Structure 1
Amino acid sequence: MKTIFALTDFSDNSVNAANAAVLLAGKIHANVLLYHNYETMAVASTFSGGPYVNEEFFLTTTETKKNLDHQLKGLQYIVDSIDKNDRQPTLKALSGDGNLEDNLKQAIDENQIEFIIMGTPSGTAIDHLFFGSETNTILQHAHKPVLIIPANKTLGDIKNVVFATTFDEPDIQALHYLINLGKTFHFNIEVVHVNQPVKDKAQQIEKEAAFQKHIARFGYDKISFKDIGGHDVADRLHLYCAEEKPDILAVVHHQHSFLRRIFEHSTTKDALTDLKLPLFIFPTVL
Protein backbone atom coordinates (compact mmCIF):
# COMPACT_ATOMS: atom_id res chain seq x y z
CA MET A 1 0.00 0.00 0.00
CA LYS A 2 1.46 3.36 -0.98
CA THR A 3 2.49 5.47 1.99
CA ILE A 4 3.22 9.11 2.79
CA PHE A 5 6.38 9.39 4.86
CA ALA A 6 5.95 12.14 7.49
CA LEU A 7 9.13 13.24 9.22
CA THR A 8 8.70 14.57 12.75
CA ASP A 9 10.87 16.11 15.43
CA PHE A 10 7.74 16.66 17.58
CA SER A 11 7.84 20.43 17.04
CA ASP A 12 4.65 22.34 16.22
CA ASN A 13 5.82 22.72 12.61
CA SER A 14 6.41 19.00 12.09
CA VAL A 15 3.09 18.21 13.75
CA ASN A 16 1.44 20.60 11.30
CA ALA A 17 3.11 18.83 8.37
CA ALA A 18 2.06 15.41 9.65
CA ASN A 19 -1.52 16.64 9.97
CA ALA A 20 -1.38 17.68 6.32
CA ALA A 21 0.02 14.24 5.43
CA VAL A 22 -3.07 12.54 6.90
CA LEU A 23 -5.47 14.72 4.91
CA LEU A 24 -3.50 14.20 1.70
CA ALA A 25 -3.37 10.46 2.34
CA GLY A 26 -7.14 10.32 2.58
CA LYS A 27 -7.40 11.82 -0.91
CA ILE A 28 -4.83 9.61 -2.65
CA HIS A 29 -5.77 6.42 -0.75
CA ALA A 30 -2.44 6.10 1.02
CA ASN A 31 -1.30 5.30 4.53
CA VAL A 32 0.93 7.47 6.72
CA LEU A 33 4.24 6.49 8.26
CA LEU A 34 5.31 8.88 11.02
CA TYR A 35 9.08 8.80 11.37
CA HIS A 36 11.51 10.27 13.90
CA ASN A 37 15.29 10.01 13.64
CA TYR A 38 17.62 10.50 16.57
CA GLU A 39 21.22 9.83 17.45
CA THR A 40 22.46 8.39 20.72
CA MET A 41 25.61 6.58 21.71
CA ALA A 42 25.13 3.51 23.85
CA VAL A 43 28.44 3.42 25.73
CA ALA A 44 29.44 0.28 27.56
CA SER A 45 31.58 1.04 30.59
CA THR A 46 32.48 -0.50 33.93
CA PHE A 47 30.86 0.24 37.23
CA SER A 48 31.31 -1.81 40.44
CA GLY A 49 33.10 -4.49 38.48
CA GLY A 50 30.40 -4.96 35.77
CA PRO A 51 29.46 -3.41 32.42
CA TYR A 52 26.49 -1.09 31.99
CA VAL A 53 24.95 0.68 29.05
CA ASN A 54 24.65 4.43 28.99
CA GLU A 55 21.32 5.40 30.53
CA GLU A 56 20.90 8.15 27.94
CA PHE A 57 20.20 5.54 25.25
CA PHE A 58 17.24 4.10 27.16
CA LEU A 59 15.90 7.50 28.15
CA THR A 60 15.99 8.72 24.55
CA THR A 61 14.32 5.64 23.06
CA THR A 62 11.65 5.66 25.79
CA GLU A 63 10.94 9.36 25.29
CA THR A 64 10.82 8.91 21.51
CA LYS A 65 8.23 6.14 21.77
CA LYS A 66 6.16 8.24 24.16
CA ASN A 67 6.22 11.25 21.82
CA LEU A 68 5.40 9.14 18.75
CA ASP A 69 2.44 7.52 20.52
CA HIS A 70 1.20 10.95 21.60
CA GLN A 71 1.45 12.37 18.08
CA LEU A 72 -0.23 9.28 16.61
CA LYS A 73 -3.21 9.81 18.90
CA GLY A 74 -3.57 13.37 17.59
CA LEU A 75 -3.36 12.16 14.01
CA GLN A 76 -6.00 9.51 14.68
CA TYR A 77 -8.49 12.26 15.56
CA ILE A 78 -7.91 13.70 12.09
CA VAL A 79 -8.32 10.27 10.49
CA ASP A 80 -11.64 9.82 12.26
CA SER A 81 -12.88 13.16 10.89
CA ILE A 82 -12.04 12.41 7.24
CA ASP A 83 -14.97 12.52 4.85
CA LYS A 84 -16.53 9.13 4.17
CA ASN A 85 -15.93 9.62 0.44
CA ASP A 86 -12.19 9.52 1.12
CA ARG A 87 -10.24 6.58 2.47
CA GLN A 88 -9.21 6.65 6.10
CA PRO A 89 -5.44 6.04 6.14
CA THR A 90 -3.77 3.57 8.45
CA LEU A 91 -1.21 5.18 10.74
CA LYS A 92 2.12 3.69 11.71
CA ALA A 93 5.07 5.10 13.70
CA LEU A 94 8.73 4.29 13.28
CA SER A 95 11.95 5.66 14.76
CA GLY A 96 15.58 5.22 13.87
CA ASP A 97 18.72 5.66 15.91
CA GLY A 98 21.83 6.80 14.08
CA ASN A 99 22.67 8.18 10.67
CA LEU A 100 19.66 9.77 8.96
CA GLU A 101 20.88 8.85 5.48
CA ASP A 102 21.14 5.13 6.26
CA ASN A 103 17.93 4.99 8.30
CA LEU A 104 15.99 6.87 5.64
CA LYS A 105 17.14 4.52 2.89
CA GLN A 106 16.15 1.48 4.94
CA ALA A 107 12.73 2.90 5.80
CA ILE A 108 12.03 3.73 2.15
CA ASP A 109 13.24 0.32 0.95
CA GLU A 110 10.94 -1.44 3.41
CA ASN A 111 7.84 0.68 2.73
CA GLN A 112 6.03 1.74 -0.43
CA ILE A 113 6.76 5.44 0.00
CA GLU A 114 4.84 7.78 -2.31
CA PHE A 115 6.45 11.01 -1.15
CA ILE A 116 7.97 12.63 1.94
CA ILE A 117 6.42 15.51 3.86
CA MET A 118 8.14 17.62 6.48
CA GLY A 119 7.81 20.91 8.29
CA THR A 120 10.53 23.51 8.62
CA PRO A 121 12.24 23.91 12.02
CA SER A 122 12.08 27.67 11.49
CA GLY A 123 11.78 30.24 8.73
CA THR A 124 10.44 29.35 5.31
CA ALA A 125 10.56 26.30 3.09
CA ILE A 126 13.00 28.22 0.89
CA ASP A 127 15.38 28.80 3.81
CA HIS A 128 15.11 25.11 4.66
CA LEU A 129 15.86 24.04 1.10
CA PHE A 130 19.07 26.04 0.87
CA PHE A 131 20.36 26.00 4.42
CA GLY A 132 18.86 22.95 6.13
CA SER A 133 21.31 20.05 6.35
CA GLU A 134 18.52 17.57 7.12
CA THR A 135 16.60 18.62 4.01
CA ASN A 136 19.66 18.32 1.79
CA THR A 137 20.35 14.83 3.16
CA ILE A 138 16.80 13.80 2.32
CA LEU A 139 16.88 15.31 -1.17
CA GLN A 140 20.19 13.69 -2.04
CA HIS A 141 19.42 10.19 -0.77
CA ALA A 142 15.66 9.62 -0.65
CA HIS A 143 14.99 9.78 -4.42
CA LYS A 144 11.38 10.60 -3.60
CA PRO A 145 9.42 13.86 -3.95
CA VAL A 146 9.64 16.00 -0.82
CA LEU A 147 6.88 18.40 0.23
CA ILE A 148 8.17 21.08 2.63
CA ILE A 149 5.57 22.97 4.65
CA PRO A 150 6.77 26.33 6.00
CA ALA A 151 6.24 27.33 9.61
CA ASN A 152 2.70 28.38 10.54
CA LYS A 153 1.34 27.41 7.12
CA THR A 154 -1.78 25.28 6.88
CA LEU A 155 -2.07 23.33 3.65
CA GLY A 156 -5.74 23.63 2.76
CA ASP A 157 -7.40 22.82 -0.54
CA ILE A 158 -4.79 22.70 -3.29
CA LYS A 159 -6.19 24.65 -6.23
CA ASN A 160 -3.17 26.09 -8.02
CA VAL A 161 0.37 24.75 -8.38
CA VAL A 162 3.19 26.64 -10.07
CA PHE A 163 5.89 24.46 -11.60
CA ALA A 164 9.19 26.15 -12.53
CA THR A 165 10.75 24.51 -15.57
CA THR A 166 13.88 24.53 -17.72
CA PHE A 167 12.25 22.15 -20.24
CA ASP A 168 14.59 19.30 -19.33
CA GLU A 169 13.78 15.57 -19.16
CA PRO A 170 13.44 15.38 -15.34
CA ASP A 171 10.82 18.15 -15.54
CA ILE A 172 8.66 15.87 -17.72
CA GLN A 173 8.79 13.10 -15.10
CA ALA A 174 7.93 15.53 -12.33
CA LEU A 175 5.04 17.02 -14.30
CA HIS A 176 3.70 13.54 -15.03
CA TYR A 177 3.69 12.92 -11.28
CA LEU A 178 1.99 16.27 -10.59
CA ILE A 179 -0.61 15.60 -13.26
CA ASN A 180 -1.50 12.27 -11.66
CA LEU A 181 -2.00 14.09 -8.36
CA GLY A 182 -3.92 16.81 -10.17
CA LYS A 183 -6.40 14.26 -11.47
CA THR A 184 -7.23 13.45 -7.85
CA PHE A 185 -7.18 16.98 -6.41
CA HIS A 186 -8.35 18.76 -9.58
CA PHE A 187 -5.79 21.54 -9.20
CA ASN A 188 -4.49 23.80 -11.94
CA ILE A 189 -0.84 23.52 -12.94
CA GLU A 190 0.91 26.61 -14.28
CA VAL A 191 4.20 25.64 -15.92
CA VAL A 192 6.41 28.70 -15.66
CA HIS A 193 9.63 29.21 -17.59
CA VAL A 194 11.96 31.93 -16.36
CA ASN A 195 13.57 33.43 -19.45
CA GLN A 196 17.34 33.59 -19.37
CA PRO A 197 19.73 34.72 -22.10
CA VAL A 198 20.54 31.85 -24.48
CA LYS A 199 22.96 31.68 -27.39
CA ASP A 200 20.54 29.87 -29.69
CA LYS A 201 17.03 31.29 -29.33
CA ALA A 202 15.64 29.10 -32.10
CA GLN A 203 16.90 25.97 -30.36
CA GLN A 204 15.28 27.13 -27.11
CA ILE A 205 11.94 27.67 -28.88
CA GLU A 206 12.18 24.21 -30.46
CA LYS A 207 13.00 22.67 -27.06
CA GLU A 208 9.99 24.37 -25.46
CA ALA A 209 7.66 23.22 -28.26
CA ALA A 210 8.85 19.62 -27.92
CA PHE A 211 8.40 19.81 -24.16
CA GLN A 212 4.82 21.07 -24.43
CA LYS A 213 3.99 18.44 -27.03
CA HIS A 214 5.24 15.71 -24.70
CA ILE A 215 3.21 17.06 -21.76
CA ALA A 216 0.09 17.24 -23.95
CA ARG A 217 0.21 13.44 -24.28
CA PHE A 218 -0.60 13.14 -20.56
CA GLY A 219 -4.11 14.37 -21.34
CA TYR A 220 -4.59 16.92 -18.55
CA ASP A 221 -6.70 19.95 -19.45
CA LYS A 222 -5.98 21.95 -16.29
CA ILE A 223 -2.40 22.76 -17.29
CA SER A 224 -1.04 25.91 -18.92
CA PHE A 225 2.36 27.34 -19.87
CA LYS A 226 3.78 30.78 -19.27
CA ASP A 227 7.06 32.49 -20.04
CA ILE A 228 8.13 35.07 -17.49
CA GLY A 229 9.99 38.00 -19.02
CA GLY A 230 11.66 40.98 -17.41
CA HIS A 231 15.08 42.46 -16.79
CA ASP A 232 15.36 40.95 -13.30
CA VAL A 233 14.34 37.28 -13.24
CA ALA A 234 14.17 37.12 -9.44
CA ASP A 235 11.87 40.11 -9.10
CA ARG A 236 9.69 38.89 -11.95
CA LEU A 237 9.30 35.45 -10.39
CA HIS A 238 8.35 36.99 -7.08
CA LEU A 239 5.85 39.29 -8.74
CA TYR A 240 4.28 36.34 -10.51
CA CYS A 241 3.94 34.30 -7.30
CA ALA A 242 2.60 37.33 -5.42
CA GLU A 243 0.00 37.97 -8.10
CA GLU A 244 -1.07 34.38 -8.71
CA LYS A 245 -0.82 33.24 -5.07
CA PRO A 246 -0.22 29.54 -5.82
CA ASP A 247 -0.80 27.00 -3.10
CA ILE A 248 2.45 25.17 -3.92
CA LEU A 249 5.63 25.97 -5.83
CA ALA A 250 7.08 22.84 -7.45
CA VAL A 251 10.65 22.42 -8.71
CA VAL A 252 13.06 19.68 -9.73
CA HIS A 253 16.15 19.32 -7.57
CA HIS A 254 18.56 19.71 -10.52
CA GLN A 255 17.45 23.34 -10.60
CA HIS A 256 18.83 23.88 -7.10
CA SER A 257 21.74 26.12 -8.12
CA PHE A 258 19.51 28.06 -10.50
CA LEU A 259 16.87 28.59 -7.82
CA ARG A 260 19.46 29.52 -5.24
CA ARG A 261 20.68 32.38 -7.45
CA ILE A 262 17.08 33.57 -7.68
CA PHE A 263 16.05 33.19 -4.05
CA GLU A 264 19.22 34.59 -2.54
CA HIS A 265 18.33 37.89 -4.15
CA SER A 266 17.51 39.85 -0.97
CA THR A 267 14.34 41.56 -2.20
CA THR A 268 12.89 38.36 -3.61
CA LYS A 269 13.80 36.25 -0.59
CA ASP A 270 12.10 38.72 1.77
CA ALA A 271 9.02 38.84 -0.43
CA LEU A 272 8.75 35.06 -0.82
CA THR A 273 9.15 34.73 2.94
CA ASP A 274 5.96 36.74 3.28
CA LEU A 275 4.22 34.43 0.79
CA LYS A 276 5.05 31.34 2.91
CA LEU A 277 4.98 29.03 -0.09
CA PRO A 278 5.13 25.28 0.44
CA LEU A 279 7.74 23.69 -1.83
CA PHE A 280 7.27 20.38 -3.65
CA ILE A 281 10.76 19.24 -4.65
CA PHE A 282 11.28 16.41 -7.12
CA PRO A 283 14.42 14.32 -7.62
CA THR A 284 15.91 14.16 -11.09
CA VAL A 285 14.96 10.47 -11.27
CA LEU A 286 11.59 9.26 -9.98
Structure 2
Amino acid sequence: MKTIIALTDFSPHGNHACHYAAALAAQTGATLLLCNVYLEPASFPGAYSIGWPTEEFNLLEQESTGTLQLLRQQLEEEWPALLAANKSRISTASTAGDVATVLTDLDNTGAISLVVAGTHSESGFVELFFGNKMRTLIDTARHPLLLVPLESPMPHLKKLVFATDMEFPEQDIAALRVLKKLTVKTGAELLVTTVLNEDDHGSAWAKEEQQMMSDLSHMAGNIDVKCKVIKGDHVDNVLLRFCTEEKADLLTMVHHNLGMIKRLFKGSTTKKVAGTSGIPLLVIPACLA
Protein backbone atom coordinates (compact mmCIF):
# COMPACT_ATOMS: atom_id res chain seq x y z
CA MET A 1 0.00 0.00 0.00
CA LYS A 2 1.11 3.56 -0.69
CA THR A 3 -1.30 6.19 0.66
CA ILE A 4 -4.55 5.74 2.54
CA ILE A 5 -6.90 8.73 2.46
CA ALA A 6 -9.25 9.00 5.43
CA LEU A 7 -12.21 11.31 4.84
CA THR A 8 -13.72 13.03 7.86
CA ASP A 9 -16.33 15.67 8.58
CA PHE A 10 -15.24 15.62 12.24
CA SER A 11 -18.37 13.74 13.28
CA PRO A 12 -17.95 10.68 15.54
CA HIS A 13 -18.45 8.49 12.46
CA GLY A 14 -15.86 10.35 10.41
CA ASN A 15 -13.27 10.47 13.17
CA HIS A 16 -13.77 6.77 13.93
CA ALA A 17 -13.00 6.05 10.28
CA CYS A 18 -9.76 8.03 10.67
CA HIS A 19 -8.76 5.98 13.72
CA TYR A 20 -9.54 2.82 11.76
CA ALA A 21 -7.48 4.07 8.81
CA ALA A 22 -4.55 4.93 11.10
CA ALA A 23 -4.53 1.44 12.54
CA LEU A 24 -4.66 -0.03 9.03
CA ALA A 25 -1.83 2.23 7.86
CA ALA A 26 0.25 1.13 10.82
CA GLN A 27 -0.33 -2.52 9.92
CA THR A 28 0.42 -2.13 6.22
CA GLY A 29 3.16 0.51 6.31
CA ALA A 30 1.10 2.96 4.26
CA THR A 31 1.16 6.73 4.50
CA LEU A 32 -2.03 8.22 5.95
CA LEU A 33 -3.63 11.40 4.63
CA LEU A 34 -6.43 12.91 6.74
CA CYS A 35 -8.80 14.87 4.51
CA ASN A 36 -11.62 17.26 5.30
CA VAL A 37 -13.63 18.70 2.42
CA TYR A 38 -15.83 21.64 3.36
CA LEU A 39 -18.45 23.36 1.23
CA GLU A 40 -17.60 26.34 -0.90
CA PRO A 41 -19.80 29.44 -0.42
CA ALA A 42 -21.37 28.80 -3.82
CA SER A 43 -22.62 25.47 -2.52
CA PHE A 44 -24.95 27.13 -0.06
CA PRO A 45 -28.38 28.21 -1.35
CA GLY A 46 -28.51 31.94 -1.90
CA ALA A 47 -24.84 32.39 -1.07
CA TYR A 48 -24.29 35.16 -3.57
CA SER A 49 -27.68 36.74 -3.12
CA ILE A 50 -27.09 37.29 0.59
CA GLY A 51 -23.38 37.96 0.26
CA TRP A 52 -21.06 35.43 1.88
CA PRO A 53 -18.66 37.20 4.29
CA THR A 54 -15.02 36.53 3.47
CA GLU A 55 -14.25 36.42 7.18
CA GLU A 56 -16.75 33.58 7.68
CA PHE A 57 -15.22 31.57 4.86
CA ASN A 58 -11.71 32.10 6.23
CA LEU A 59 -12.91 31.00 9.65
CA LEU A 60 -14.31 27.81 8.14
CA GLU A 61 -10.97 27.13 6.48
CA GLN A 62 -9.03 27.79 9.68
CA GLU A 63 -11.34 25.58 11.71
CA SER A 64 -10.93 22.72 9.23
CA THR A 65 -7.14 23.01 9.21
CA GLY A 66 -6.87 23.35 12.98
CA THR A 67 -9.17 20.42 13.73
CA LEU A 68 -7.27 18.21 11.30
CA GLN A 69 -4.03 19.04 13.08
CA LEU A 70 -5.55 18.10 16.43
CA LEU A 71 -6.80 14.82 14.98
CA ARG A 72 -3.39 14.14 13.48
CA GLN A 73 -1.72 14.72 16.83
CA GLN A 74 -4.20 12.41 18.54
CA LEU A 75 -3.54 9.62 16.05
CA GLU A 76 0.23 10.01 16.28
CA GLU A 77 0.01 9.71 20.05
CA GLU A 78 -2.26 6.68 19.73
CA TRP A 79 -0.05 4.75 17.31
CA PRO A 80 3.58 5.86 17.97
CA ALA A 81 5.24 2.45 18.03
CA LEU A 82 3.41 1.01 15.04
CA LEU A 83 3.80 4.15 12.95
CA ALA A 84 7.53 4.25 13.70
CA ALA A 85 8.04 0.55 13.06
CA ASN A 86 6.32 0.70 9.68
CA LYS A 87 7.81 4.08 8.80
CA SER A 88 4.33 5.45 8.24
CA ARG A 89 3.52 9.12 8.51
CA ILE A 90 0.37 11.18 8.78
CA SER A 91 -0.36 14.28 6.73
CA THR A 92 -3.45 16.45 6.31
CA ALA A 93 -5.41 18.10 3.52
CA SER A 94 -8.13 20.69 4.04
CA THR A 95 -9.92 22.09 1.03
CA ALA A 96 -13.21 23.47 -0.23
CA GLY A 97 -15.24 21.73 -2.90
CA ASP A 98 -16.89 18.36 -3.36
CA VAL A 99 -15.33 15.09 -2.29
CA ALA A 100 -15.23 13.46 -5.72
CA THR A 101 -13.40 16.40 -7.31
CA VAL A 102 -10.95 16.71 -4.41
CA LEU A 103 -10.09 13.01 -4.61
CA THR A 104 -9.48 13.37 -8.34
CA ASP A 105 -7.10 16.28 -7.68
CA LEU A 106 -5.27 14.35 -4.95
CA ASP A 107 -4.93 11.39 -7.29
CA ASN A 108 -2.67 13.32 -9.66
CA THR A 109 0.32 11.85 -7.84
CA GLY A 110 -0.91 8.30 -8.46
CA ALA A 111 -0.09 7.33 -4.89
CA ILE A 112 -3.59 6.61 -3.55
CA SER A 113 -4.27 2.96 -2.76
CA LEU A 114 -7.37 3.21 -0.53
CA VAL A 115 -10.04 5.73 0.53
CA VAL A 116 -11.69 5.28 3.94
CA ALA A 117 -14.98 6.88 5.02
CA GLY A 118 -17.41 6.41 7.89
CA THR A 119 -21.11 5.63 7.78
CA HIS A 120 -23.63 8.20 8.96
CA SER A 121 -26.76 6.28 9.80
CA GLU A 122 -28.15 4.03 12.49
CA SER A 123 -28.97 1.64 9.68
CA GLY A 124 -25.33 1.52 8.69
CA PHE A 125 -24.79 1.08 4.96
CA VAL A 126 -28.38 1.94 4.01
CA GLU A 127 -27.75 5.66 4.24
CA LEU A 128 -24.54 5.31 2.26
CA PHE A 129 -26.09 3.63 -0.74
CA PHE A 130 -29.22 5.73 -0.89
CA GLY A 131 -27.61 9.06 -0.02
CA ASN A 132 -26.69 11.15 -3.06
CA LYS A 133 -23.26 12.23 -1.83
CA MET A 134 -22.03 8.77 -0.97
CA ARG A 135 -23.54 7.28 -4.12
CA THR A 136 -21.64 9.88 -6.15
CA LEU A 137 -18.45 9.06 -4.28
CA ILE A 138 -18.89 5.35 -4.97
CA ASP A 139 -19.72 5.94 -8.65
CA THR A 140 -16.73 8.21 -9.21
CA ALA A 141 -14.17 6.34 -7.08
CA ARG A 142 -11.10 5.18 -8.95
CA HIS A 143 -9.65 3.40 -5.93
CA PRO A 144 -10.98 0.88 -3.41
CA LEU A 145 -13.39 2.56 -0.99
CA LEU A 146 -13.60 1.25 2.58
CA LEU A 147 -16.83 2.10 4.43
CA VAL A 148 -16.46 1.80 8.19
CA PRO A 149 -19.43 1.60 10.59
CA LEU A 150 -19.11 3.35 13.93
CA GLU A 151 -19.36 -0.03 15.68
CA SER A 152 -16.29 -1.46 13.93
CA PRO A 153 -13.41 -2.29 16.27
CA MET A 154 -9.90 -1.26 15.29
CA PRO A 155 -8.67 -3.48 12.45
CA HIS A 156 -6.69 -6.60 13.24
CA LEU A 157 -7.46 -8.19 9.93
CA LYS A 158 -7.47 -11.97 10.21
CA LYS A 159 -10.25 -12.96 7.83
CA LEU A 160 -11.58 -11.24 4.69
CA VAL A 161 -14.70 -12.24 2.76
CA PHE A 162 -15.07 -11.50 -0.95
CA ALA A 163 -18.65 -11.91 -2.20
CA THR A 164 -19.29 -12.21 -5.93
CA ASP A 165 -22.21 -12.97 -8.24
CA MET A 166 -19.77 -14.47 -10.80
CA GLU A 167 -21.15 -12.32 -13.63
CA PHE A 168 -17.96 -10.37 -14.41
CA PRO A 169 -14.96 -12.67 -13.86
CA GLU A 170 -12.38 -10.17 -15.18
CA GLN A 171 -13.43 -7.64 -12.55
CA ASP A 172 -13.47 -10.30 -9.85
CA ILE A 173 -9.89 -11.23 -10.77
CA ALA A 174 -8.84 -7.57 -10.47
CA ALA A 175 -10.53 -7.37 -7.07
CA LEU A 176 -8.78 -10.52 -5.88
CA ARG A 177 -5.43 -9.01 -6.87
CA VAL A 178 -6.22 -5.99 -4.71
CA LEU A 179 -7.13 -8.27 -1.83
CA LYS A 180 -3.98 -10.32 -2.35
CA LYS A 181 -1.88 -7.24 -1.57
CA LEU A 182 -3.87 -6.70 1.61
CA THR A 183 -3.53 -10.32 2.73
CA VAL A 184 0.21 -10.24 2.10
CA LYS A 185 0.55 -7.13 4.28
CA THR A 186 -1.69 -8.36 7.09
CA GLY A 187 -1.46 -12.15 6.90
CA ALA A 188 -5.25 -12.35 6.78
CA GLU A 189 -7.15 -15.36 5.45
CA LEU A 190 -9.31 -14.81 2.36
CA LEU A 191 -12.69 -16.46 1.78
CA VAL A 192 -14.43 -16.20 -1.61
CA THR A 193 -18.15 -16.85 -1.62
CA THR A 194 -21.32 -16.57 -3.65
CA VAL A 195 -24.96 -17.06 -2.67
CA LEU A 196 -27.17 -19.46 -4.64
CA ASN A 197 -30.92 -19.74 -4.40
CA GLU A 198 -31.60 -23.10 -2.79
CA ASP A 199 -34.66 -23.89 -4.92
CA ASP A 200 -33.20 -22.94 -8.30
CA HIS A 201 -29.71 -24.39 -7.93
CA GLY A 202 -28.84 -27.94 -6.97
CA SER A 203 -25.65 -29.54 -5.66
CA ALA A 204 -24.18 -29.93 -9.16
CA TRP A 205 -24.52 -26.20 -9.77
CA ALA A 206 -22.91 -25.45 -6.41
CA LYS A 207 -19.90 -27.64 -7.28
CA GLU A 208 -19.54 -25.84 -10.61
CA GLU A 209 -19.67 -22.44 -8.91
CA GLN A 210 -17.08 -23.52 -6.38
CA GLN A 211 -14.76 -24.64 -9.17
CA MET A 212 -15.26 -21.34 -10.97
CA MET A 213 -14.29 -19.43 -7.82
CA SER A 214 -11.17 -21.57 -7.46
CA ASP A 215 -10.29 -20.87 -11.09
CA LEU A 216 -10.71 -17.13 -10.53
CA SER A 217 -8.35 -17.26 -7.58
CA HIS A 218 -5.79 -19.16 -9.68
CA MET A 219 -6.02 -16.64 -12.55
CA ALA A 220 -5.59 -13.78 -10.08
CA GLY A 221 -2.15 -15.07 -9.21
CA ASN A 222 -2.44 -18.36 -7.35
CA ILE A 223 -3.97 -16.68 -4.33
CA ASP A 224 -4.34 -18.94 -1.34
CA VAL A 225 -8.06 -18.75 -0.67
CA LYS A 226 -10.93 -20.84 0.57
CA CYS A 227 -14.02 -20.95 -1.64
CA LYS A 228 -17.51 -21.64 -0.38
CA VAL A 229 -20.93 -21.59 -2.01
CA ILE A 230 -23.71 -20.50 0.34
CA LYS A 231 -27.28 -21.63 -0.28
CA GLY A 232 -30.17 -19.45 0.73
CA ASP A 233 -33.17 -17.50 -0.48
CA HIS A 234 -32.16 -14.10 0.89
CA VAL A 235 -28.74 -12.78 -0.08
CA ASP A 236 -28.74 -10.20 2.70
CA ASN A 237 -29.42 -12.45 5.68
CA VAL A 238 -27.38 -15.36 4.35
CA LEU A 239 -24.28 -13.31 3.60
CA LEU A 240 -24.36 -11.36 6.84
CA ARG A 241 -24.88 -14.55 8.81
CA PHE A 242 -21.94 -16.11 6.97
CA CYS A 243 -19.70 -13.16 7.85
CA THR A 244 -20.79 -13.37 11.48
CA GLU A 245 -20.26 -17.13 11.73
CA GLU A 246 -16.85 -16.88 10.07
CA LYS A 247 -15.93 -13.90 12.30
CA ALA A 248 -15.01 -11.93 9.20
CA ASP A 249 -13.23 -8.60 9.70
CA LEU A 250 -14.04 -7.24 6.25
CA LEU A 251 -16.64 -7.82 3.52
CA THR A 252 -15.62 -6.99 -0.05
CA MET A 253 -17.62 -6.50 -3.25
CA VAL A 254 -16.92 -5.10 -6.71
CA HIS A 255 -18.84 -1.97 -7.75
CA HIS A 256 -20.79 -3.83 -10.43
CA ASN A 257 -22.44 -5.73 -7.57
CA LEU A 258 -24.00 -2.52 -6.26
CA GLY A 259 -27.42 -4.02 -6.93
CA MET A 260 -26.49 -6.87 -4.62
CA ILE A 261 -25.12 -4.42 -2.09
CA LYS A 262 -28.38 -2.47 -2.07
CA ARG A 263 -30.31 -5.66 -1.50
CA LEU A 264 -27.81 -6.67 1.13
CA PHE A 265 -28.63 -3.71 3.35
CA LYS A 266 -32.30 -3.29 2.50
CA GLY A 267 -35.20 -4.38 4.69
CA SER A 268 -35.98 -3.91 8.37
CA THR A 269 -34.27 -7.07 9.62
CA THR A 270 -31.13 -6.47 7.64
CA LYS A 271 -30.95 -2.80 8.60
CA LYS A 272 -30.77 -3.86 12.21
CA VAL A 273 -28.08 -6.43 11.48
CA ALA A 274 -26.02 -4.07 9.32
CA GLY A 275 -26.22 -1.34 11.91
CA THR A 276 -24.89 -3.54 14.69
CA SER A 277 -22.63 -6.01 12.92
CA GLY A 278 -19.69 -3.63 12.75
CA ILE A 279 -18.39 -5.27 9.56
CA PRO A 280 -16.63 -2.76 7.28
CA LEU A 281 -17.47 -2.94 3.58
CA LEU A 282 -14.75 -2.61 0.93
CA VAL A 283 -16.12 -1.53 -2.47
CA ILE A 284 -13.68 -2.08 -5.33
CA PRO A 285 -14.36 -0.05 -8.51
CA ALA A 286 -15.01 -2.07 -11.62
CA CYS A 287 -12.62 0.24 -13.50
CA LEU A 288 -9.67 -1.49 -11.85
CA ALA A 289 -10.28 -4.35 -14.23
**Which interval holds the TM-score relative to the shorter structure?**
0.7 to 0.9
**Identical-pair percentage:** 30
Distance 1:79 1:243, change over 3 A: closer
Partner of residue 266, structure 1: 268
Partner amino acid, structure 1, of 2:28: I
Q: 3-state SS of the aligned residue for 1:256?
A: helix
Query: What is the deviation of 1:83?
Result: 6.7
Alignment partner of 1:189 is 2:190:
yes
Partner of residue 135, structure 1: 134
CA distance in 1, matches of 2:264, 2:117: 23
Partner of residue 72, structure 1: 72
Partner of residue 6, structure 1: 6
Q: How many residues align?
A: 280
Distance 1:164 1:155, change over 3 A: same
CA distance in 2, matches of 1:65, 1:231: 49
8 A Cα contact 1:247 1:277, kept in partner: yes
Any idea what the Cα deviations from partners look like across 1:132-179, whole Å, max 9, x if unmatched?
Answer: 333222211121101111013222311111111122221111111111
Query: What is the deviation of 1:258?
Result: 2.0
Matches within 5 A, 1:1-286: 2-41=2-41, 54-82=54-82, 86-110=85-109, 112-167=111-166, 168=168, 169-196=170-197, 209-217=211-219, 218-221=221-224, 223-286=225-288
8 A Cα contact 1:22 1:89, kept in partner: no
8 A Cα contact 1:9 1:36, kept in partner: yes
Distance 1:97 1:212, change over 3 A: same
CA distance in 2, matches of 1:92, 1:149: 20
Distance 1:174 1:124, change over 3 A: farther
Any idea what the Cα deviations from partners look like across 1:22-76, whole Å, max 9, x if unmatched?
Answer: 222222221111111111327789x9xxxx9532211111111111111111122
CA distance in 2, matches of 1:253, 1:129: 14
Distance 1:125 1:186, change over 3 A: farther
User: C-alpha root-mean-square deviation of aligned residues, in Å?
Assistant: 2.9
Q: 3-state SS of the aligned residue for 2:215?
A: helix
Distance 1:111 1:172, change over 3 A: closer
CA distance in 2, matches of 1:14, 1:234: 25
8 A Cα contact 1:125 1:278, kept in partner: no
Which structure: larger Rg? 1
Q: Which runs of 5+ in 2 are unaligned?
A: none
Query: What is the deviation of 1:193?
Result: 0.5
Q: TM-score, normalised by structure 1?
A: 0.86
Partner amino acid, structure 2, of 1:97: A
Q: Which runs of 5+ in 1 are unaligned?
A: none
Query: What is the deviation of 1:103?
Result: 1.8
CA distance in 2, matches of 1:233, 1:203: 17
Distance 1:214 1:152, change over 3 A: closer
CA distance in 1, matches of 2:182, 2:280: 16
Q: Which shows bigger deviation, 146-155 or 233-242?
A: 233-242
